[in-house]
């Protein structure tokens, strides 16, 4: 059974704080690691797709790193804003399979 685990489960921060979350995945047969942002009442939106060990990706104040040898990825948000409040999902893709295995997400709430 392939498990993708995310921590923490939820996080409350103050506006302006920087924060990060972890995604752990199987380190064997790695193909890709996806990060999605999921706002309430909307659909998940792709943030990053990462494929190479040591990869770092950035979009505005959000960035992510990848370590495929040890099976983890970090998502960082610099200077959190209330509009960053959402659930952040990571998903693991093994080999060249079409299947994405999702973690349960980290729910972020940014207080003004």
Partner 1 sequence: DTAVSQTPKYLVTQMGNDKSIKCEQNLGHDTMYWYKQDSKKFLKIMFSYNNKELIINETVPNRFSPKSPDKAHLNLHINSLELGDSAVYFCASSQHETGWVYGYTFGSGTRLTVV
Q: How far apart are CA 102 and CA 2, in angstroms?
A: 10
Q: Which of residues 11-50 bind partner 1 (CB under 8 A)?
A: 31-32, 34, 36, 42-49
Work out whether strand 56-59 and strand 106-111 pair parallel, antiparallel, or are unpaired. Answer: unpaired
Q: Is 61 left (phi over 0), alpha (psi -120 to 50) or beta?
A: alpha
Give the one residue of 20, 24, 72, 100 binding partner 1; rule: CB under 8 A: 100
Q: Which of residues 50-89 bind partner 1 (CB under 8 A)?
A: 51, 89
Nearest approach, Cβ of residue 42 and partner 1 (Å): 7
Under rule CB under 8 A, residue 101 binds partner 1: yes
Under rule CB under 8 A, residue 5 binds partner 1: no
Work out whether strand 10-14 and strand 62-67 pair parallel, antiparallel, or are unpaired. Answer: unpaired
Interface segment toward partner 1; rule CB under 8 A; list 14-22, 67-75, 77-85, 95-103: 95-103
Instruction: Name, in order, each residue with C-beta under 8 angstroms of 74's C-beta and a sequence gap of 6 or more.
Output: 20, 21, 22, 23, 64, 65
Positions in the binding site for partner 1 (CB under 8 A)? 31-32, 34, 36, 42-49, 51, 89, 91, 93, 97-105
């Amino acid at each position: 059974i392939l498990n993708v685990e995310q921590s923490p489960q939820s996080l409350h921060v103050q506006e302006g704080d920087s924060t990060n979350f972890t995604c752990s995945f199987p380190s064997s047969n790695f193909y890709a690691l996806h990060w999605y942002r999921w706002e309430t009442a909307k659909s998940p939106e792709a943030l990053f797709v990462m494929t190479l060990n040591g990869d770092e990706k950035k979009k505005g104040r959000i960035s992510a790193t990848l370590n495929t040898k040890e099976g983890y990825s970090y998502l960082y948000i610099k200077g959190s804003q209330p509009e960053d409040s959402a659930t952040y999902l990571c998903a693991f893709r093994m080999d060249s399979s079409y299947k994405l295995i999702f973690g349960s997400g980290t729910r972020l709430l940014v207080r003004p």
